[in-house]
Each structure stands twice: as C-alpha cells, then as structure tokens.
Amino acid sequence: MRILVANDDGIYSPGIAALARVASDFGDVRVVAPDVERSSAGHAITASRPVRHKRTDIFNGVEAFRVDGTPADCVALGAHLWGHVDLVLSGINLGVNLGNAIWHSGTLAAAKQAALLGIRGIALSAHSPVQQGDFSGIEPWARRALEAILADDEPALVNVNLPPQPRGLRWTRQAVDRYNGRVVESEDPEGRQVFWFTVAPIDAPREGTDLWAFDAGWVSMTPLRLDLTDHEALAAAPDPARALR
C-alpha cells in the first residue's frame, strides 16, 4: 500500500515524524508537506503562482519533499508525482480539529483533497499538550485508530482526534450546534488595535459528537463526506418558476 503523508504544521513538525513512523507499519510511505506552518489554511490551493518542491532527508529512510504550498497542494502534488497513491494520512496535528473548527483545518483539508482525487483520506489531530513534541503516548493510539479504520474499505474520509491518555476508540458525528470562533481585541506595541481570531471552549457538547467523545477521553473517529448539499432542504425547496410569476 502506497501511503502519502502530509500535514499543515509543516514538514519539520514532530507530529508528521510521528505519523510517518506509524504509517510505515502499514505500507510504503512518502512524505510531502508544507515547508512552513500552514495551520488554518483550510482547503486553499495555490493558483496564482507555480509551486516548487525540494527533497528533504529528515525521515530515516523515508522519501520526503517540502513544498512552498498549502496542505491541499501537497496532496495534489504528492499524488501527481507518485503516480498511484492508496491512502493519504494528514497530521498528526498539534492541536485538535473538532466540531465546526474543521472548516478552517488544513490538516483535514489534506485528507479532503485526497478524497476529491478518489483516494482514501484520514486526518489525525492530537490534544495541544503534545505541542511539547512527545508523541510516545499518542503513537500507539494513532496506530490503533488506523487499524480500526483500515479494517474496512469504508469510510473514505475520516477525521480522527486523539485526547490525552485515551480510554478507547469511538465513532462519532461532527458537533455542529455551536461555533466556537471568537474575536479577541488587543493592541500592538504602537498602541494600534489588533484582533486575534481564536477559539473559546464551548459547554456541554452533545453526546455522540466528536467534541463530547474527546472531552470524555475517547479517540474520536468521524466519517465525513464531500457532499455539502442539504438534501432535506433540496427535497422541500419550492419550485423557483412559481416565485418568478
């Protein structure tokens, strides 16, 4: 199995090194990742200029390339260069991607780009204390989650979030009832107003959601789809010809 590994924290993140190690247990691995951090880049692609890649030998015997592009660029380029890819793994992100936060996530976008290309995509994110760079407690659980997901051919797109000291694996749905985006006003050293776009913890996420599972200590695995259509609204939508009369 050919496994392309990408992320949005950049190729020098300890999270992608951990994921490359885990991925090597499942097949042939190649790393293609942004040369700098592109967190919160969402599913942006680089269309106004060409993209370049450079070989980077930092992963013990694993072929790796750093790219001056977005996470989605890295997957598109990686799949193009390798010819055939069976699976794209993205992460392990330094910080969670839960609920409506996944709209901004570059980590998930890399997995979504795979799904758009007809390749299976799995995004993995971990709790922020992992920012210290120690993935020793997380790696076995990333491996377990991948074993559980890859045991079947479906689902094609999965968002995985790993809490500290997990108690097990859970399939979940995305928490959509609240958006935790928050604008925090501050001042720069010159006294000029600046704004931080950040997140605030939300209270009481609903049972069965990714946020709920993560808070309860479960590894959350959410199957996702690319179709954003509101099928109920489509079925109930009035005939537009009537409105024109």
Residue ranges in contact with Mn ion by CB under 5 A: 8-9, 39, 93
Q: What's the DSSP call for residue 147?
A: H
Q: Which of 121, 103, 125 is nearest to 41 (CA)?
A: 103
- To Mn ion, the closest distance from the beta carbon of 182 in angstroms equals 18
Is there a contact between 88 and 55 (Cβ–Cβ < 8 Å)? Answer: no
Cβ closest to Mn ion, residue 77 vs residue 92: 92
- To Mn ion, the closest distance from the beta carbon of 70 in angstroms equals 12
Cβ closest to Mn ion, residue 196 vs residue 235: 196
- Inter-axis angle of helices 106-116 and 71-82, to 10 degrees? 40
Buried residues in 170-205 as b, exposed as e (16+ CB within 10 A): bbbebbeeeeeeeeeeeeeeeeeeeeeeebeeeeeb
- To Mn ion, the closest distance from the beta carbon of 8 in angstroms equals 4
48 vs 115: CA distance, rounded Å = 23
Cβ closest to Mn ion, residue 40 vs residue 174: 40
Cβ closest to Mn ion, residue 8 vs residue 139: 8
- To Mn ion, the closest distance from the beta carbon of 229 in angstroms equals 28
> Which residue has the CB atom at the shortest distance from Mn ion?
39
Task: Kindly give the residue spans of alpha helices, DSSP state H, lying in the chain.
Answer: 14-23, 71-82, 106-116, 139-150, 210-215, 231-236, 240-244
Q: Which of 89, 93, 169, 168 is nearest to 130 (CA)?
A: 93
Cβ closest to Mn ion, residue 25 vs residue 134: 134
- To Mn ion, the closest distance from the beta carbon of 93 in angstroms equals 4
Q: How far is CA 200 from the centre of its chain?
A: 20
SS3 call for 29: strand
Cβ closest to Mn ion, residue 9 vs residue 139: 9
Is there a contact between 133 and 176 (Cβ–Cβ < 8 Å)? Answer: no
H or E segment at 220? strand 218-223
- To Mn ion, the closest distance from the beta carbon of 97 in angstroms equals 8
- To Mn ion, the closest distance from the beta carbon of 101 in angstroms equals 11
Cβ closest to Mn ion, residue 2 vs residue 127: 127
